[in-house]
Structure 1
Amino acid sequence: MTQHKQQELQAIAERYARRAATVEPDRYSLLRPEVWQMLQERQRALLRVLARRPGRPADWRLAEVGCGAGGNLLEMLRLGLAPEHLSGIELLPERYEAARAVLPPAVRLSLGDAAQAGLEAGSQDLVLQSTVFSSILSDRVQQGLAEAMWTWLKPGGAVLWYDFIVDNPRNRDVRGVPVSRVRALFPEGQLSWQRLTLAPPLARRVCRYLPPGAYGVFNSIPWLRTHVLAVIQKQET
């Protein structure tokens, strides 16, 4: 591992720790109306994408970069993917331990640098990342991770990408990843995408002062959506 990469990974861990110490504990609780509406919107969009894929979910092999506490992998299990076909990689030890506590033992979990996770080339049908690249401030580290993810994919496989596309001036620990950057990270991929998710600071205010249904009203305005769900397809050979 290069010194530059080691420094960036350490900085990511420090940024997460700093944010955890300053954000209210229930900021991402599913009991908050803006959180469950954001989650359900993303789930519906992702399910529509996966419903169009050939084959049976039980046969798909999926790896998640930045699996956190395991929430997305649990969703994949409910969808019908087999535990032994799932892999998760997590940089932060406390999140890795949380994922290990809730996921079946057959799910393969790795702690540390995702680009060095040891997944075999051409072994995965799907590689998932959710708000990971926006936490990487180094272009070189972003590129290295994207190249590793692309290598893991089988021909005909796809990267499932969910991340925000605009900068948050109140949070310098993250940066938006516009669609043009996604194209540059995966130049050989066939990209399709859609905008989702009412800007979280606005969503929190809307759901605090207005009925929960107001989320959908504001979210119907495309330029208020700050995230992208993208599918980056690897061509068949």
Structure 2
Amino acid sequence: MNDPTPATEPRAVTERYARRDAAQDAQRYSLYASASVLQAHQERLCAMRQLWRNHGWESLADLHITEAGCGTGGNLQDLVRLGADPTRLQGLELLPVRAAAARRQLPAAVAVLEGDALQARIAPGSQQAVLAFTLFSSILDAGFRTTLARQMWQWVAPGGGVLVYDFVVDNPRNPDVEGVPLAEVRRLFPSARITSRKLTLAPPLARRLPAALLAPAAIVLPFARTHRLTWAVKPLTSSP
């Protein structure tokens, strides 16, 4: 394992995202243009809602929720639609361009903080949930990944948790990311109570299927799912 490198890893992540954004086809990841992206998004949203309802949360209205690596704000928009109070939501985003886009698209009451999440001033135990969606897979330095996970864990109130959505296998076409299997999530949050389920039909396969077959294929081909949604809950008696 490498030592944590707070100064260099965020810069490396910024450079990797810049390369990715320059080469990325925006239409491929558009909810409107891509039926497979829309289906995966809806599946994930339904799974997140069910997971939290099973956790005992009948409403999101009174919960403080932070997303680390909020990008352009799509997940925070989903939380608002699910009933979260915008004044209790905040997003942390390293990349200035994405942070600016999130500010434009989100309700003004949602706080968007630009910069390294390790520098965010969030009180320990103040958040009922912290989201990390395709975040850890973009952090290649294992020491920094561990440091960030510990920081996020400190923000979580006992009985709350960290919600991780990420792919579980390496992408041979993209050396700038690394798969995050369930064992890695357990390592990052060793004292958590874990609930996890596999989601998301492998994108290369999903893009080739007709829209009408996407939902059935996701059901009958569980081995072809490439991502996990994992809820890592902090015990009520846990220390920060």
Could you tell me the TM-score, scaled by structure 1's length? 0.94
Q: Does 1:174 align with 2:177?
A: yes
Alpha-carbon distance in structure 1 between the residues aligned to 2:81 and 2:5: 39
CA distance in 2, matches of 1:137, 1:198: 24
Cα drift, residue 135 of structure 1: 0.4
Q: 1:205 Cα deviation (Å)?
A: 2.2
Instruction: Determine the structure 2 residue equivalent to 1:77.
Output: 80
Deviations 1:176-232 (A, max 9, x none): 0110110000001000100000111221122xxxx2122234322121100000110
Matched, 1:235 2:238: no
- The 5 Å alignment of 1:1-237 reads 4-31=5-32, 32-52=34-54, 53-54=56-57, 56-206=59-209, 211-219=210-218, 220-237=220-237
The size of the alignment, in residue pairs, is: 232
Distance in 2, Cα, partners of 1:129 & 1:67: 8
Q: Deviations over 1:149-184 (max 9, x none)?
A: 100011101111100100011110101011011000
AA aligned to 2:18 is A
* Paired amino acid for 1:213: A
Q: In the TM superposition, what is the alpha-carbon distance from 1:3 to its structure 2 partner?
A: 8.8
SS at match of 2:61: helix
Kept after mapping to 1: 8 A contact 2:4/2:142: no
When residues 108 and 205 of structure 1 are mapped into structure 2, their CA distance, relative to the original with a 3 A threshold, is: same
**Cα distance between partner residues in 1 of 2:89 and 2:184:** 27
Give the aligned residue type for 1:24. D
User: C-alpha separation between the residues in 1 aligned to 2:208 and 2:182?
Assistant: 27
Residues 128 and 3 (structure 1), Cα distance of their counterparts in 2 relative to 1, 3 Å cut:
closer
Contact 2:4–2:143 (CA<8 Å) still a contact in 1?
Answer: no
Task: Let me know the Cα RMSD of the aligned residues.
Answer: 1.4
Give how far 1:27 is off.
1.4
Structure 1: distance between partners of 2:167 and 2:232: 16
1:55 positional shift: 5.4
Q: Is the 8 A contact 2:169 2:178 kept in 1?
A: yes
CA–CA distance in structure 1, aligned partners of residues 175 and 62 of structure 2: 41
Runs (4+) off by over 4 Å: none
CA distance in 1, matches of 2:61, 2:197: 26
In the TM superposition, residue 14 of structure 1 has moved relative to its aligned partner by: 1.1
TM-score, structure 2 length as denominator? 0.93
**Distance of aligned partners of 1:56 and 1:40 in 2 relative to their CA distance in 1, 3 Å threshold:** closer
Distance 1:171 1:122, change over 3 A: same
Mind listing any 5+ residue stretches in structure 2 that lack a counterpart? none
| Alignment-mate amino acid for residue 231 of structure 2 | V
Q: Secondary structure at the match of 2:131?
A: strand
